[in-house]
Copies of this chain bind each other. A is one copy, B any other.
Amino acid sequence: MNNSDIENILTNHGIKPTTNRVLVLKDLQKRTSPVNLADLEMSLDPMDKASIFRVLELFSKNDIVHVIEDGSRSIKYELCNGKEHHSVSDQHAHFYCEKCGSVICLDYVKMPDINIPEQYKVKSVNFMFKGICPNCYK
């Protein structure tokens, strides 16, 4: 995906494509599992932490990233599935390994079809499993 594709994604979500935003989005596209702010800070060095934070905040508000709370004590971010859509049903479960700290996307574990009463306005869902991953259990 080239830069103008990236810029289009941003524009389509009502976001002006600044340098930082393009770089953050490109970084997120490379990831195969959710990342936290510190990960991105390292990877995007020398971009400022607060700037990255604000980009992520914006992305979240404009439905480009999902916010994942995995119990690792730090918030993780993941591109919305399909890179252009965002809905509760496109979310999947995650597995957090308490030993190595990695997060694994359980893509094949889709959000179950749950009926939350009408009066609740559901904006996002987190479906997290925690324990020991196959790698650490060996």
Contacting residue for A70 out of B69, B112, B122, B130, CB 8 A: B69
Q: Does A128 contact B129, Cβ atoms closer than 8 Å?
A: no
How many angstroms between the C-alpha atoms of A72 and B68 in the bound complex?
12
Distance to closest chain B CB from A112 (angstroms): 4
A interface: dominant SS: strand
A137 contacts across to B, CB distance below 8 A: 119-121
- The answer to whether residues A123 and B128 also contact, given A106-B116, A114-B93, A114-B112 and a CB cut-off of 8 A, is no
Closest to A124 in B: B130
Q: Which residues of A contact B (CB under 8 A)?
A: 67, 69-71, 73, 75, 93, 95, 98, 106, 109, 112, 114, 116-117, 119-134, 137
